[in-house]
Structure 1
């Protein structure tokens, strides 16, 4: 994990698994922001006709719909 010594890497992994950890909260927030940016990028690319982006967007929409039911 990000060029940390093994003991620090293990400690960070444990910290990220702890539900009340502020590090976990920041990690999940960063992950959500990155996912949102990727979705926005895929949507923009799909709008201009990128077949790969179109399929990625449709797959994402299918997942969202499946999670709602």
Structure 2
């Protein structure tokens, strides 16, 4: 679910290091919003990251 349908940004996996240097798995999720955008002139609900919304890659349907 946490995937932008415009740019394809998704979950990134990595390691979290504690103060004693114990490594545990963690993941970073993108800030994805479910918004109504115009797709081929028709409004459609899709998941879009906030970076695409701010940069103007999509046009929101009103």
Based on CA coordinates, which of the two structures has the bigger radius of gyration?
A: 1
Larger RCO (CA within 8 A; separation ≥ 6): 2
Instruction: Work out whether the TM-score is over 0.5.
Output: no
More helix by share: 1
More strand by share: 2
- The normalised TM-score by structure 1 is 0.18
- The normalised TM-score by structure 2 is 0.19
